[in-house]
Structure 1
Amino acid sequence: MKHIFVLFLSLILLILPGCSSEESAADTGKKTLTIYSTMSTDSERNTFRKLASAFEKESGIRVSIHFPGNDYENMMRVRMAANDLPDLFDTHGWGKIRYGEYTADLRDMDWTQNLDPNLNSILKNKSGKVYAYPINQAKDGLAYNRNMLDRFGIDPPETMDDFIKALRTIKEKSNGEIVPFWFAGYDKSSFAQYYDQFATPLLITDPAHNEKKQLIDGTFNWSKFTYLSDILKQMQKEKLINIDAVTAKKSQLIELMAQNKIAFTMQGGTLGQDVAQINPNVKVGIIPTPAIHSDDDPIWIGGERYTLAAWKDSPHLKEAKQFIAFMARPAHAKEMAEATSLPSGLTNVKADIFYAKDYQHYQNMKVEPYFDRLYLPNGMWDVMGTVGQELAADILTPNEISKKLGREYKRLREQSETQGAENNE
């Protein structure tokens, strides 16, 4: 049965993007590197294409780039099942856990000497294998409207209590005209981001509330997660989040922030520079994720954002590493970091990015990996997004949400273990 399934997946691969371009490249006698990436904005993609074109001219090697968007993960699952991956691909936060067995070891490449130590636990294993080249690195926290905080005399919050107080002050002093904390809940990832980002200070970083072992071995008591749903529901009842949190779309965010109608949101990336293009008088900043427990400190949530991993069985592995080396040149790494408005993954690259002053100001704050990437089975991100929507729509209570998360956590762990056993047969 398993062999039939793999055969079916192999047939699907014939219609995936990239095959036709590889065949046409063979007609010209040139080698072609196929690259899959999760880059989403025009500025990111255009800069990547420009650099790939420069590589083609310099090396004589063709490059076929694909941006599957929301279909990326499904396409990569199909390719992994058939052991037929692109020559280069984006591990999008799963370099070790999901893609590790398929990636070539890059430890002997020159740029690894400048790998940011913050990424060591995410992109290296204990024996020294380097899984991917980090085009940039995420440092997620809370994006905020500096104008609003200055106007109402609010300091950037460092704890959850301070954050709630700030939201209440904004609502009161603006007479409800400004949304204190804005969610784009039509895309459930907005709620998933909330749960995932605040789960780390709730359950990991404070020694007195550390649940690492229980999360990893499957014994975690999900009632301890209820706090996050309680806080979110409390914010909704007090109208500290937008009343259309379930139906609001990401496409609305830039315009609303540019109109001074939003104080805080969880969207980072190019938000600040996008808002500045519409209204340069609105200043957007970013702060680390506030601490939840009294003895803890704020943290950045992050790690790898966009990467280039080389498929270990690629027939063009030498050329794939050649492309990575090209992208890792300081000038090129700087260009990509600036296009994505995120710090470079290399210590010898200083990019002029929009939030540079904020990152410099909070440079001593720890960077913690995304919660779901270390402690949850594959599929839990979607579950967290769905329950967030159900909470905001009054379909489930906070306690019911924790019970559902516990059931799905168990189901997905068992599913993952079963698939792992089948793959080893």
Structure 2
Amino acid sequence: MKRKTIGKFLSAALAGTMICSLTACGSAASADVAVNQNDDTEASVTTIETTGATGATIEMEYSVTGDQLTAFQQLVQKFTDETGIGVSITQPGNGYEDAMKTRMASGDLPDVWVTHGWSVARYSEYLTPLEGEDWFGKIDESLLPSITDEEGHVYVLPITEAVCGVIYNKDVMDKAGVDVTKIRTWDDFTKACQAVKDNTDATPIEMSCNASGVNSYLLECMLPTYLSNEDAPGQQAEALIDGSFDFTKDGGEAFTQIAEWSDAGFFNEDSMTADLTTAEKALSNAEAGFLVYSTECIPAMLTYTPDTNLGVIPSPAVSAEGKSYYGVGEGNFSCFGIWKDTEHMDECKQFLEFLARPENADKIAVDVDGGIPCLSDTEITDAYVLNIFKESQEQFKDDLIYDNFFDRKYQPSGMWGVFDDSMDILLDGNASENVSAALESMQTNYSDLHE
């Protein structure tokens, strides 16, 4: 079989869609979109059915639109042509989360749906376990902790994964004399930032507080290393989940560290007004050294600067005794679960088996989702993001912890937007003077959302 390649170029439309989707990976941003679109959701619901079915028809709820939906529709038609099983795709406009919450409440769920990062925390009670399927053994080890519940069940076929970490410009690091493989603690990272500031014209850390998600991702990547990872010095995972955690008492170290970076001049001067595109262009053009974000922003950077030289490393540990950390979650448009009460279980499992085949999974990864392929038999050999992630896994292979995104696993629904607001408070002016106010914002909203 001919092996496929993905060059550095993805369409700007696909890249933009992916960035927006993951920026809203936290509940607050995505929920706000659903509520804001509620008035228009009914009118924009689209149903697409495959033709030529000779057997049962399964219903699937899906969240993509435009060219991505067209690409998926073409793939699904091939499934019907091969098996005779029909597929009816329901696309509820921009109100996917609201539509799914309504269907969960009514008990009238589709046979298959995309879980957009929530297969365990939100949907597991409605889904059937899938760890007995033939494709299960192909799932990359980095994603398994995020999609496995306490009983060892996996409820989703994951075709791609989303990864948050420290993206860096290799040319800037070379000029600064920084060996990123030696960045194992936040103190190491601070020294690397100082080297960038001293030896280059680049901004050490590119920051954006303009509703871009960049500021939220900094907390997304730092807080686990202080609070929830198994080797975190202030490990309080259970308290974070049950609502008894107090950010004002025990959550200050990460905020203090960020404040010190700000006061040291490590962030760009326009950090309060710069948008995501500005941040992406700065890193891709070697005007910045580091950007803490999801790897799903990299395709857009490749459209701005096709010959950019990027890499990614995991979030460092707090101490030398700790391990580096990657936040890994399900791809937003590429992870599929089956309703446990479907009347068409065999047909649904055939459908997932079809999607898991390398030629079909790769089409979803390239044309629909844009994330990192996470099935081991992928035939994609020249995927820029996949390759730099694998490079990082090799560099840090004995020093890695994988866990789900912090806001999805350890915070109540709605905290993603709180991360954004609290970072705005912290970085507006003299950051060291704003730490207490930022922590108060975190705690007040965390407590309210747990009620």
The TM-score with structure 1 as length reference comes to: 0.81
> 2:319 corresponds to which residue?
293
CA contact (8 A) 2:226 2:233 kept: no
Q: Out of 281, 296, 309, which is 2:337 matched to? A: 309
Aligned to 2:373, what secondary structure does the other structure show? Answer: coil
Q: Out of 392, 406, 413, which is 1:371 matched to? A: 406
> 2:444 corresponds to which residue?
407
Q: Out of 393, 405, 426, which is 1:359 matched to? A: 393
Q: Out of 99, 103, 106, which is 1:75 matched to? A: 99
CA contact (8 A) 1:95 1:122 kept: no
> 1:134 corresponds to which residue?
158
> 2:373 corresponds to which residue?
344
> 1:160 corresponds to which residue?
186
CA distance in 2: counterparts of 1:287 and 1:68, whole angstroms: 36
Q: Out of 179, 186, 190, which is 2:203 matched to? A: 179
CA contact (8 A) 2:41 2:93 kept: no
CA distance in 2: counterparts of 1:265 and 1:46, whole angstroms: 33
> 2:25 corresponds to which residue?
none
Q: Out of 410, 428, 435, which is 1:393 matched to? A: 428
Q: Out of 248, 255, 269, which is 2:274 matched to? A: 248
Residue 66 and residue 293 in structure 1: after superposition, are their counterparts in 2 closer, same or farther (change >3 A)? farther
> 2:117 corresponds to which residue?
93
Q: Out of 56, 63, 75, which is 1:51 matched to? A: 75
CA distance in 1: counterparts of 2:344 and 2:362, whole angstroms: 26
Alpha-carbon deviation of 1:336? Answer: 3.6
CA distance in 2: counterparts of 1:73 and 1:184, whole angstroms: 27
Q: Out of 344, 347, 350, which is 1:319 matched to? A: 347
Listed as ranges, the gaps of 5+ residues in structure 2 are: 1-37
CA contact (8 A) 1:13 1:79 kept: no
- Could you tell me which amino acid in structure 2 is paired with residue 170 of structure 1? V
CA distance in 1: counterparts of 2:72 and 2:293, whole angstroms: 22
Aligned to 1:267, what secondary structure does the other structure show? Answer: strand
Identity percentage over the alignment? 26
> 1:419 corresponds to which residue?
none
Residue 220 and residue 320 in structure 1: after superposition, are their counterparts in 2 closer, same or farther (change >3 A)? same
> 1:105 corresponds to which residue?
129
CA distance in 2: counterparts of 1:344 and 1:267, whole angstroms: 18
Between stretches 405-414 and 109-118, larger displacement belongs to 109-118
> 1:213 corresponds to which residue?
238
CA distance in 1: counterparts of 2:209 and 2:336, whole angstroms: 30
> 2:292 corresponds to which residue?
266
Alpha-carbon deviation of 1:192? Answer: 1.9
Alpha-carbon deviation of 1:128? Answer: 4.6
- Could you tell me which amino acid in structure 2 is paired with residue 220 of structure 1? F
User: Over residues 343-369 of structure 1, what are the superposed CA-to-partner deviations in whole Å (9 max), with x where a residue is unaligned?
Assistant: 433344464331423333334422122
Between stretches 214-223 and 298-307, larger displacement belongs to 214-223
- Could you tell me which amino acid in structure 2 is paired with residue 411 of structure 1? D
CA distance in 2: counterparts of 1:328 and 1:335, whole angstroms: 10
CA distance in 1: counterparts of 2:54 and 2:162, whole angstroms: 39
Residue 324 and residue 150 in structure 1: after superposition, are their counterparts in 2 closer, same or farther (change >3 A)? same
Between stretches 372-381 and 213-222, larger displacement belongs to 213-222
CA distance in 2: counterparts of 1:68 and 1:208, whole angstroms: 44
Structure with greater contact order relative to length (CA < 8 Å, sep ≥ 6): 2
Aligned to 1:388, what secondary structure does the other structure show? Answer: helix
Aligned to 2:122, what secondary structure does the other structure show? Answer: coil
CA distance in 2: counterparts of 1:41 and 1:162, whole angstroms: 44
CA distance in 2: counterparts of 1:226 and 1:412, whole angstroms: 20
Residue 213 and residue 237 in structure 1: after superposition, are their counterparts in 2 closer, same or farther (change >3 A)? same
Alpha-carbon deviation of 1:127? Answer: 4.3
CA distance in 1: counterparts of 2:220 and 2:198, whole angstroms: 29
Residue 224 and residue 264 in structure 1: after superposition, are their counterparts in 2 closer, same or farther (change >3 A)? same
Aligned to 1:194, what secondary structure does the other structure show? Answer: helix
> 1:198 corresponds to which residue?
222
Q: How many residues align?
A: 398
- Could you tell me which amino acid in structure 2 is paired with residue 250 of structure 1? L
Residue 351 and residue 362 in structure 1: after superposition, are their counterparts in 2 closer, same or farther (change >3 A)? farther
Listed as ranges, the gaps of 5+ residues in structure 1 are: 1-10, 415-425
2:265 aligned with 1:239, yes or no? yes
User: Over residues 304-327 of structure 1, what are the superposed CA-to-partner deviations in whole Å (9 max), with x where a residue is unaligned?
Assistant: 234111233445544333221111
CA distance in 2: counterparts of 1:215 and 1:14, whole angstroms: 34
CA distance in 2: counterparts of 1:126 and 1:35, whole angstroms: 27
2:250 aligned with 1:224, yes or no? yes
The TM-score with structure 2 as length reference comes to: 0.77
CA distance in 1: counterparts of 2:105 and 2:130, whole angstroms: 23
